[in-house]
Structure 1
């Protein structure tokens, strides 16, 4: 009897499709399955359809997941593939991030038209970005620059840059690598001075938490160190809000069973920031992140967060 194919949900952007295809390839290899054992189901999300306003104005990260999660919950999808940095910390009941593929490069890529490096851009140059974190970090390092909201798929943003809408933009290095488009990069930014978004560079898979069949399917492609690092980073996010309305950076790295975390929160204008470093065993990853979030929140004081509303 022919089994129905596993249904993999994804957004329709070229990057989202590349991530879904990578997931399918890994599952095919892990289980010696043919391509027709999987069906990639493309859904349009509200976040994809509304591109003329900042995410913070229209609802934040959940706008890229709502349609996928609805079909996961009712069984029309078996799993959904996401960019981890796009995922809210609170997920619908019965759903969870159950698998993480091995993380790619976490760095932000600078793509300069007027100059090859962020620090060498001319005074008052225009930089386009849709990320509040990137906007705040740019303003922190170069308060003279004009930062504008720059939304759309990777290809759209690169086209806008060529058309002269901005003098430079920033994109995730991992995404450009997955699209085979690293040739546009003019500088890779140091995570110590320009820390990435929590989850940046990691593909995650969302599924029903009580579906043992799908859990068994996904188990062989889970990367334990990436899962632990993301557990720490997402706990940091959870302690600090974690929506698209907040400039938050965070990166956990793992070596020989020990986890090191670096996190930062900023005001949107980049003039005030608080950073934190924390360490602990990998087994305590989530607690390290949560404690770091609580500490930096207490250090910043309640008035700091007024600028986030």
Structure 2
């Protein structure tokens, strides 16, 4: 009987999605005749500690994973459950993404006080979001909106919709779905309007590359279609060297092809936080890494590198 120690953030959403992963692994273990138990270890990250500053001002990468990865490297935990959009492109030494489970809805969701679409919000409506990516695309669609920073856990951000006088807040639909709060969603923002964050809706299950037991176990949880899509998105992000300080989004979907060589369609965006200079491109291909690189180069050719440099400099000032 092996006890598997699972590291996660301590928010209600993080614990809920970790519970889903553990339930799936228990089922896999039962079917394979593997005897093991699971114990959750809650870890506070830098992103959890600093809530009075926008993510773009906190800076750096791995705001929500670094301390968890350190515990994994130190042998304090055997696996970690991350929201994939929080995981930096560059992997920490000795660690691998052992599984990417099936993705939940990757779209952004609009939560309002009564209207049913972005178009129906009143002129000059106040919208809360923690994401420069969302802000850029919302302002490109509705320049009249007043987009304001909104940090905190998913439940606290929903509470602030009423307490702090916002007309709407925008959150990842996946988090609301995992918490069983779909009824709070007023409208889903389609990727044509608001391209999601890289990896949004997907989880990344991390382990030590040298832990053969965990590598094998997590491999049974991996959802290949989701993993391929996320690989394309992350290759795009890696080429642009982006993080939460700059508005970048990417969304990949399988677009047919043979089972042995599926085709992917990848849409990506780069823009300024005020919604100006918004660039979008779409490409299709079979190799996820090559596709992500091709899309990034197409946006760079249109000036994305200059926009990202401006955004990063503004975030640091």
Q: TM-score range by the shorter chain?
A: over 0.9
- Contact 1:55–1:61 (CA under 8 A) maintained in structure 2: no
When residues 77 and 155 of structure 1 are mapped into structure 2, their CA distance, relative to the original with a 3 A threshold, is: same
Shift of 1:238: 0.5
- Contact 2:240–2:305 (CA under 8 A) maintained in structure 1: no
Match in the other structure for 2:21 = 23
Shift of 1:305: 2.8
**Alignment gaps of 5+ in structure 2:** 257-261, 313-317
Shift of 1:34: 9.2
Where 1:9 maps in the other structure, the secondary structure is: strand
Match in the other structure for 2:98 = 98
Runs in 1 of length 4+ with deviation above 2 angstroms? 33-36, 301-307
TM-score (norm 1): 0.95
Shift of 1:4: 4.0
Q: 1:178-197 counterparts in 2 under 5 A?
A: 178-197=178-197
> Which of 265, 275, 278 does residue 273 from structure 1 map onto?
278
Per-residue CA deviation, residues 263-303 of structure 1 (Å, 9 max, x unaligned), is 1111111111111111111xx11111012112211221643
CA distance in 1, matches of 2:307, 2:199: 24
Per-residue CA deviation, residues 152-171 of structure 1 (Å, 9 max, x unaligned), is 00110011002143110011
Match in the other structure for 1:226 = 226
Per-residue CA deviation, residues 21-53 of structure 1 (Å, 9 max, x unaligned), is 111011000111799711111111111111000
- Contact 2:271–2:304 (CA under 8 A) maintained in structure 1: no
CA distance in 2, matches of 1:129, 1:60: 19
Where 1:253 maps in the other structure, the secondary structure is: strand
Match in the other structure for 2:71 = 71
CA distance in 1, matches of 2:125, 2:193: 20
Q: 1:110-129 counterparts in 2 under 5 A?
A: 110-113=110-113, 115-129=115-129
Match in the other structure for 2:5 = 7
Match in the other structure for 2:265 = 260
- Contact 1:266–1:273 (CA under 8 A) maintained in structure 2: yes
CA distance in 1, matches of 2:305, 2:246: 14
Where 1:215 maps in the other structure, the secondary structure is: helix
Where 1:62 maps in the other structure, the secondary structure is: coil
CA distance in 2, matches of 1:201, 1:189: 14
Shift of 1:60: 4.2
CA distance in 1, matches of 2:73, 2:237: 24
Match in the other structure for 1:304 = 307
When residues 203 and 150 of structure 1 are mapped into structure 2, their CA distance, relative to the original with a 3 A threshold, is: same
Per-residue CA deviation, residues 140-182 of structure 1 (Å, 9 max, x unaligned), is 1111111100000011001100214311001111110100011
How many residue pairs match? The answer is 305
CA distance in 2, matches of 1:242, 1:35: 41
**Alignment gaps of 5+ in structure 1:** none
Match in the other structure for 1:153 = 153
CA RMSD of aligned residues (A): 1.6
CA distance in 2, matches of 1:36, 1:183: 36
